[in-house]
Amino acid sequence: MGDVVVPLGGATPTIPLTPETRQAYLDLYKKAELAVQATADGTILGSLNDTKDAIGAVISADNDARLAQDDASFKAVQTQIDAANDSMKKLAADIAGVASKIKVFGDVASGINTVLTLVSAV
């Protein structure tokens, strides 16, 4: 059995947890769950359940923090996507305007060609 090592100064992990710290909590939660299933000692069982619940609360808080970060990131990306989409819609409208003008000029050029063809045939 290993000795329990308490960090100097009773350091508290920051939320969201680092990947290594999160994995350590997840691994410890699994080990505590296995220990709960393997023991019949009432004193130990109570302590194990309390510890497992406390570890689960840390993992839940980390999950909430990660979701909040993901939500904030999504909102930031969504804002950029919306801005890009608005820009593309404006460009498409501008291109459609130019294309309609080109058609008008194309029709004029075609008319000029028709007239010149007819005049040169005279």
What is the distance between the terminal CA atoms of the chain, rounded to a whole angstrom? 111
Q: Please name the helix (run of DSSP H) or strand (run of DSSP E) that holds residue 86, with its range, or none.
A: helix 42-120
Q: What is the pLDDT of residues 48-89, one digit of tens each?
A: 999 999 999 999 999 999 988 888 887 877 888 788 888 888
Q: Is 17 in contact with 57 (CB distance < 8 Å)?
A: no
State the maximum Cα–Cα separation within the chain, in Å, rounded to a whole number.
116
Q: What is the pLDDT of residues 4-51, one digit of tens each?
A: 444 555 566 678 899 999 999 999 999 999 999 998 888 899 999 999
Higher pLDDT, 15 or 111: 111
The model's pTM: 0.58
pLDDT of residue 97: 86
Amino acid letter for position 116: L
pLDDT of residue 10: 58
pLDDT of residue 31: 94
Residues near 15 by beta carbon (within 8 Å), at least 6 away in sequence: 58, 61, 62, 65
Q: Is 30 in contact with 7 (CB distance < 8 Å)?
A: no
Mean pLDDT computed over 86-108? 87
Per-residue b or e along 91-103, where b marks 16 or more CB atoms closer than 10 Å to that residue's CB: eeeeeeeeeeeee
Distance CA 97, CA 100 (A): 5
